[in-house]
Amino acid sequence: MPTWKSWIIKPHKFNIYTQKKTLINNSNFIIVGHGIAGALLGYCLEQAGQSCRYFDAPDQVAATSVAAGIINPITGRRFVKSWRIEALLPAAQQIYRQLEVELGIHFYHERPLLRTLFNRGEENDWQARSLDMDYASYFHAPPDLGSIPLITAPAFSYLEVAQAAQVHIGQLVAALRLRREQAGLYHAETFDFAALETRADGIGYRQFTADQIVFCEGWHSRANPYFNYLPFGGNKGEVLLIRLPEAKLEQILKHRLFLVPYTEDLYWVGSTSENQFTTAEPTTAGGEYLRGRLAELLTTPYEIIDHRAAIRPTVRDRRPFLGTHPTHSRVHIFNGLGTKGASLAPYWATHLADHLIAGTPLDPEVDIKRFGH
C-alpha cells in the first residue's frame, strides 16, 4: 500500500516548469504515452524531483480523449463498492485538487450520481445495502433529483450515490501536455522501438538518454515487444456528445447509459461496450444504440454534436498492469486502467512512483509478476 508522502501533498522545491526551458537530453525517465496513466505518473515523478521526457503518438485516438471521467464508488446490479475505493477516493481528491491549483483550471467536479431503479426487487436490494454501515457514507437519502424529472421519462424510483465525481480528463491531459511542450519535454511522435537501447547503465533513445523508461500506451501496448506477452484485452466504447440546453443538470444520471454534464450545455452520453470489434471508428450501429437509449430516457429535444469511439485497455482479472520487465530492469509498464482510469490513475501512479524512486514493493494484485513470463 502506498504511503502518502509529503512530495505528493506539497509540490517539491524542484519544479522544472518554473525554470527556463530546457533542452537537456538526459532525464531520469522516458514516458511513452500521455493519456491519464502517463500524464499522472509523470506528475508524481516530477513532484519527487525526477525529470521526465514524454513521447506520444499524435495520430492515435486515446481512450482518455473519449472518456467521461466518472468516479463511481458503487457499481453493478448488486450495488457493491468499487475495488479499493476507500484508498482511491482520497488519492484522487488530493492529486486532482492540487493539479487544479497548479494549472489554474477546473476539471474535477464532485457530483452526486443518480441511478434509476427499474423495479421493486432492485429497490429492495439497494435498501438492504444502504443499511450496511460500511456503505452508509456512499448513499444519500432521499435523492435530490433536481431537474431530472422535467427532462426524462418517469422512473420506478432512484437512488443517489454520494462521493461520486466527474473528471474532465481531456482538459487535464491537454493542460499537462502544453506545460511539457513549453518546457521542451513533450514529443508528438510515434515511438520507434527499433531505436530503443536498453543498457545496464540506462536507456538510450535516439539523441536522448534516461535512467529508466515506462510504457503507458493503453490499448496500443499489445504491440509493444517488451510487454506483448501480457494478457491485454480491449473494450471498444462509443459515445455521443449532445446539446441539451434545457437540462441544467448538476448530477450524473445512470439510466442504462450515463448522461454526464460536460461543458456548458453539452452532455456526454455513453457508452457502448464491445469486446469483439473490427474497427476503432464510430459505427452506425453504435450510434443507433445510443440514440435508442436516449429515446427511452429523454422527453426534451437534443442535438447530437459529435459521435466518438475509442478502445480501452482491459485485463482479464480487471486489475491494472504495474511492474518491470522480467529481463530488462530499467523497462516498466503502467497500463490496464480500463473503464475506471479517473479513479484508478492517481492512486496507482503514486504507488508506482514510490516503487520506481524508493524501491517500495508493488502490491501483488497489480504487479505484472502475477502473470509470469
145-158 per-position pLDDT tens digit? 999 999 999 999 99
Here the cell at position 307 is 459521435
Residue 108 confidence (pLDDT) above 50 = yes
Question: CA 346, 347, 352 angle in degrees (round to 5)?
Answer: 100
What is the sign of the dihedral through the CA atoms of 132, 134, 139 and 141? Answer: positive
Same domain, yes or no, for 224 and 324?
yes
Going by pLDDT thresholds of 50, 70 and 90, the confidence category of residue 61 is low
Per the DSSP assignment, residues forming a β-bridge with 335 are: 321
Q: Which of 269, 294, 315 is the last residue of a domain?
A: 315
pLDDT at 247: 83
Which range has the worst mean pLDDT, 51-55, 57-61, 128-132?
Answer: 57-61
Same domain, yes or no, for 116 and 259?
yes
Domain residue limits at 51: 6-65+170-231+317-371
Same domain, yes or no, for 279 and 254?
yes
The reply to whether 150 falls in a domain is yes
Same domain, yes or no, for 123 and 25?
no
pLDDT at 21: 41
pLDDT at 60: 61
302-326 per-position pLDDT tens digit? 999 999 998 888 888 889 999 999 9
228-279 per-position pLDDT tens digit? 999 988 889 999 999 998 788 889 999 999 999 988 889 999 889 998 888 8
Q: Span 113-124, mean pLDDT?
A: 94
Same domain, yes or no, for 215 and 325?
yes
Same domain, yes or no, for 216 and 269?
no
Going by pLDDT thresholds of 50, 70 and 90, the confidence category of residue 336 is very high
Residue 59 confidence (pLDDT) above 80 = no
Q: Span 69-84, mean pLDDT?
A: 93
- Look at the chain and report how many structural domains it folds into: 2
Percent of the chain surpassing pLDDT 70? 91
Same domain, yes or no, for 215 and 252?
no
pLDDT at 70: 95
Helix (H) or strand (E) holding 308: strand 303-315
204-230 per-position pLDDT tens digit? 999 999 999 999 998 888 899 999 999
The reply to whether 90 falls in a domain is no
Nearest to 347, CA basis, from 370, 322, 310: 322
Same domain, yes or no, for 269 and 310?
yes
Q: In terms of pTM, does the model score above 0.85? A: yes
Here the cell at position 170 is 481531456
Residue bearing the bigger pLDDT, 283 or 22: 283
DSSP assignment string, 93-127: HHHHHHHHHHHT---EEE--EEEEE-SHHHHHHHH
Average confidence score pLDDT of the chain = 90
Going by pLDDT thresholds of 50, 70 and 90, the confidence category of residue 22 is very low
- Distance in angstroms (rounded) separating the CA atoms of residues 79 and 75: 5
